[in-house]
Amino acid sequence: MIEYQEIPDTNILEFTLDGGFSKPDFDRVAGKIDEMIAQHGTIRILEVIRNIGSVEPSALWADLKFATHHLSNFSHVAVVADHKWVEWMTAAFSPFLPMKVKTFTLGEIDVARQWLRGN
Protein backbone atom coordinates (compact mmCIF):
# COMPACT_ATOMS: atom_id res chain seq x y z
CA MET A 1 0.00 0.00 0.00
CA ILE A 2 1.16 3.49 -0.79
CA GLU A 3 0.02 6.63 0.94
CA TYR A 4 1.04 10.06 -0.27
CA GLN A 5 0.63 13.71 0.57
CA GLU A 6 1.59 16.94 -1.11
CA ILE A 7 3.33 19.27 1.31
CA PRO A 8 1.37 22.56 1.16
CA ASP A 9 3.06 25.60 -0.39
CA THR A 10 6.00 23.52 -1.67
CA ASN A 11 6.92 21.35 -4.62
CA ILE A 12 7.42 18.35 -2.30
CA LEU A 13 5.50 15.09 -2.54
CA GLU A 14 5.93 12.65 0.32
CA PHE A 15 4.90 9.05 -0.11
CA THR A 16 5.18 5.97 2.08
CA LEU A 17 5.38 2.35 0.97
CA ASP A 18 4.21 -0.06 3.66
CA GLY A 19 3.39 -3.48 2.24
CA GLY A 20 2.52 -4.52 -1.28
CA PHE A 21 2.66 -2.36 -4.37
CA SER A 22 -0.05 -2.74 -7.02
CA LYS A 23 -0.66 -1.14 -10.40
CA PRO A 24 -3.60 0.91 -8.99
CA ASP A 25 -1.26 2.14 -6.21
CA PHE A 26 1.25 3.22 -8.82
CA ASP A 27 -1.40 4.91 -10.96
CA ARG A 28 -2.61 7.02 -8.01
CA VAL A 29 0.90 8.25 -7.16
CA ALA A 30 1.85 8.80 -10.81
CA GLY A 31 -1.28 10.89 -11.32
CA LYS A 32 -0.36 13.09 -8.36
CA ILE A 33 3.22 13.44 -9.59
CA ASP A 34 1.96 14.48 -13.03
CA GLU A 35 -0.30 17.11 -11.40
CA MET A 36 2.59 18.51 -9.38
CA ILE A 37 4.93 18.57 -12.39
CA ALA A 38 2.29 20.49 -14.34
CA GLN A 39 2.05 22.97 -11.48
CA HIS A 40 5.74 23.33 -10.50
CA GLY A 41 7.85 22.03 -13.38
CA THR A 42 10.28 20.21 -11.10
CA ILE A 43 9.40 18.53 -7.84
CA ARG A 44 11.11 17.03 -4.83
CA ILE A 45 10.24 13.55 -3.58
CA LEU A 46 10.37 12.06 -0.09
CA GLU A 47 10.08 8.29 -0.41
CA VAL A 48 9.58 6.47 2.89
CA ILE A 49 9.98 2.69 2.69
CA ARG A 50 8.70 1.00 5.83
CA ASN A 51 8.05 -2.52 4.52
CA ILE A 52 7.99 -3.99 1.05
CA GLY A 53 5.48 -6.71 0.37
CA SER A 54 4.59 -8.28 -2.94
CA VAL A 55 5.06 -6.07 -5.98
CA GLU A 56 2.90 -6.60 -9.05
CA PRO A 57 5.14 -6.92 -12.13
CA SER A 58 2.85 -4.51 -14.01
CA ALA A 59 3.40 -1.90 -11.28
CA LEU A 60 7.17 -2.35 -11.42
CA TRP A 61 7.19 -2.02 -15.22
CA ALA A 62 4.94 1.07 -15.11
CA ASP A 63 7.17 2.64 -12.45
CA LEU A 64 10.30 2.03 -14.52
CA LYS A 65 8.79 3.54 -17.66
CA PHE A 66 7.37 6.51 -15.74
CA ALA A 67 10.63 7.24 -13.93
CA THR A 68 12.77 7.19 -17.06
CA HIS A 69 10.36 9.55 -18.80
CA HIS A 70 10.28 12.01 -15.85
CA LEU A 71 13.89 11.99 -14.61
CA SER A 72 14.41 15.64 -15.47
CA ASN A 73 11.31 16.63 -13.48
CA PHE A 74 12.80 15.60 -10.13
CA SER A 75 15.39 17.90 -8.56
CA HIS A 76 15.83 16.09 -5.22
CA VAL A 77 14.86 12.66 -3.93
CA ALA A 78 15.17 11.64 -0.28
CA VAL A 79 14.92 7.90 0.31
CA VAL A 80 14.06 7.03 3.91
CA ALA A 81 14.38 3.38 4.97
CA ASP A 82 15.95 1.11 7.55
CA HIS A 83 16.70 -1.58 4.96
CA LYS A 84 20.44 -1.67 4.18
CA TRP A 85 19.80 -3.04 0.69
CA VAL A 86 17.75 0.10 -0.14
CA GLU A 87 20.71 2.26 0.84
CA TRP A 88 23.07 0.12 -1.28
CA MET A 89 20.76 0.20 -4.32
CA THR A 90 20.32 3.96 -4.01
CA ALA A 91 24.08 4.46 -3.74
CA ALA A 92 24.66 2.24 -6.79
CA PHE A 93 22.20 4.06 -9.07
CA SER A 94 22.30 7.68 -7.86
CA PRO A 95 25.55 8.60 -9.71
CA PHE A 96 23.71 7.95 -12.98
CA LEU A 97 20.69 10.09 -12.13
CA PRO A 98 20.33 13.81 -12.90
CA MET A 99 18.77 14.71 -9.54
CA LYS A 100 20.28 14.95 -6.07
CA VAL A 101 19.57 11.74 -4.15
CA LYS A 102 20.24 11.14 -0.49
CA THR A 103 19.35 8.29 1.88
CA PHE A 104 18.18 8.57 5.46
CA THR A 105 17.06 6.15 8.17
CA LEU A 106 13.48 6.17 9.44
CA GLY A 107 14.74 7.92 12.57
CA GLU A 108 16.10 10.72 10.36
CA ILE A 109 12.83 11.49 8.54
CA ASP A 110 12.73 15.06 9.86
CA VAL A 111 16.31 15.60 8.67
CA ALA A 112 15.24 14.31 5.23
CA ARG A 113 12.32 16.75 5.19
CA GLN A 114 14.65 19.63 6.07
CA TRP A 115 17.10 18.57 3.35
CA LEU A 116 14.30 18.64 0.77
CA ARG A 117 13.27 22.11 1.90
CA GLY A 118 16.86 23.28 1.49
CA ASN A 119 17.49 23.81 5.22
**Spatial separation of the C-alpha atoms in residues 108 and 63, rounded to whole Å:** 26
**DSSP run (H or E) holding 102:** strand 100-104
96 pLDDT band (50/70/90 cuts)?
Answer: confident
For 12-37, write each residue's pLDDT tens digit: 999 999 988 899 999 999 999 999 99
Residue 51 confidence (pLDDT)? 87
Tell me how many domains the chain contains: 1
Report the relative pairing of strands 2-6 and 74-81 from DSSP bridges. unpaired
CATH number reported for the structural domain that contains residue 7 in this entry = 3.30.750.24
Average pLDDT, the chain: 92
Portion of the chain with pLDDT greater than 70, in percent: 99
| Per-residue confidence (pLDDT) for residue 119, from 0 to 100 | 65
Mean pLDDT to the nearest integer, 59-83: 92
Position 70 scores a pLDDT of: 92
Q: pTM here? A: 0.90
77: Cα within 13 Å, side-chain hemisphere? 23
| Domain with 48 in it | 2-117
